Amino acid sequence: MATLSDVARRAGVSPATASRVINGSSKPVTDELRERVLAAVAELQYVPNAHAQLLARSHRSAVGVIVHDVSDPYFAEITRGLQRIATDQGRLLMICNSYRDPDRELEYVELLRGHQVAALILAGSGYHDEAFTRQLNEKLAAYGATGGRVAVIGRHEHSGDAVMPDNRAGGYLAGRELCGLGHRAIGVVAGPRILTTTTDRLAGLRQALGEQGRELPERRIRYAEFDRDGGAEATARLLDADPELTAIVALNDSMAIGALATLRARSLAVPQQISVVGFDDMPIARDVTPALTTVRLPLVEMGVRAMSLVLGAETPTPRVEVLPAELVRRDTAGPVPRAAAGSAPRARRGDPSS
């Protein structure tokens, strides 16, 4: 690889001058030398060593981002928002997938710190895990102490700036909608119980049912992976245990799509026989059939806010921005079926007694 001094030598100038030309320094350089340097750069196909540059320059410009998985639509949307602001400000993003592995999350914080990022953004649910949370906060604090900025998206256990989707209100919205449609036997297809996102959404749901004087018993909840297959599997388990269910709330849209797949496999008509409500409103939600009724979260906006927070002026006290959830009515949630409303259990498929 050609180096700066190769270029300088070839152009017959000092490395200092070469550097100034290449970086468009404010220091003036005569046109003749400039030409010579540029020619040498082209001839040698010179590209500056980014590590050397980063080392030599003092100011850090890249921003580190830790998400569960960029290719998961939830995070893809958030990332889009992050990118928008970062690009506007000419900043590079280093994106890391933790795949919801706490250890990997911790490692990535170190990695990014080592890469001298100017700021760190963690997106995705927190964990009900004291030890981990403490460790993470220590690392973040250490990073903050050396001038790094930190923001989290959707995890409240951290002490710095935060952007919070209102998961609880979203759960409430889903619950109220279903209650309003007359459903009483509501099952929940939930993500891992260790995630705060799961418990927050569940809490909102509970509150909505509570206002109707009802409960959400544990037997009507199934915890599984927060993805399509998890949703499919949890739905199957739920249905096996509780065939008279008239509605299912999936705690994210991927799970809802899995739920829909299971219902289709069992020939249960949505929403005529059973209603489904998702969560997040990822883009695909409108394209499944029937189109998914879901709780929308302003994902892109969340990314935008978080990046703005972290690149903006530092405030003495951490800021927490709560972004509202919103119900999007589409075609998977309908009124409770007659039979069920009269509280006669629906015939169980394959049940010999029916």
Binding site for a copy of itself (CB under 8 A): 1-2, 45, 47-55, 70-71, 73, 76, 79-80, 95, 110-111, 113-116, 139, 142, 146, 228, 257, 260-261, 264, 283-284, 286-289
Both tokens of 40, joined, read 């040498």
Minimum separation from the CB atom of position 118 to DNA (A): 14
56 binds DNA (CB under 7 A): yes
Give the one entry of a copy of itself, DNA, none that residue 25 binds, where binding means its C-beta sits below a cut-off of 5 to 8 angstroms depending on kind: DNA
Contact present, 118 and 148 (Cβ < 8 Å): yes
Query: Hey, which bits of the chain come out as E strands?
Result: 63-67, 93-97, 119-123, 149-153, 161-165, 186-190, 221-223, 247-250, 275-277, 294-296, 320-323, 326-328
In the list 32, 130, 218, 287, the residue contacting DNA (rule: CB under 7 A) is 32
53 binds DNA (CB under 7 A): yes
Give the one entry of DNA, a copy of itself, none that residue 23 binds, where binding means its C-beta sits below a cut-off of 5 to 8 angstroms depending on kind: DNA
Q: Three-state SS across 333-351?
A: CCCCCHHHHCCCCCCCCCC
Give the one entry of a copy of itself, DNA, none that residue 221 binds, where binding means its C-beta sits below a cut-off of 5 to 8 angstroms depending on kind: none
Minimum separation from the CB atom of position 120 to DNA (A): 18
Of 59 and 338, nearer to DNA (C-beta) is 59
Burial class (CB in 10 A: 0-12, 13-18, 19+), 156: middle
Of 25 and 272, nearer to DNA (C-beta) is 25
Of 3 and 97, nearer to DNA (C-beta) is 3
Of 125 and 332, nearer to a copy of itself (C-beta) is 332
Both tokens of 60, joined, read 């850090």
Q: For residues 166-205, which are near DNA according to CB under 7 A?
A: none
Of 28 and 114, nearer to a copy of itself (C-beta) is 114
Query: C-alpha distances in angstroms, 44 versus 1, 2, 3, 6, 200?
Result: 9, 7, 9, 8, 58
The helix-helix angle for 4-11 and 15-23 (nearest 10°) equals 110
57 binds DNA (CB under 7 A): yes
Minimum separation from the CB atom of position 44 to DNA (A): 10
Contact present, 46 and 76 (Cβ < 8 Å): no
Both tokens of 221, joined, read 């909840």
Give the one entry of a copy of itself, DNA, none that residue 58 binds, where binding means its C-beta sits below a cut-off of 5 to 8 angstroms depending on kind: DNA
In whole angstroms, give the CA distance from residue 302 to residue 299: 5
Q: Which residues pair with 280 in a beta bridge?
A: 296
Span of 46-54, 214-222, 304-312, 322-330 interacting with DNA by CB under 7 A:
46-54
> Which amino acid, one-letter code, is at 347?
A
In whole angstroms, give the CA distance from residue 89 to residue 311: 9
Minimum separation from the CB atom of position 89 to DNA (A): 18
Q: How many CB atoms lie within 10 A of CB 261?
A: 17
Residues in contact with DNA by the rule CB under 7 A: 1, 3-5, 12-17, 19-20, 22-23, 25, 27-30, 32-33, 46, 48-49, 52-53, 55-58
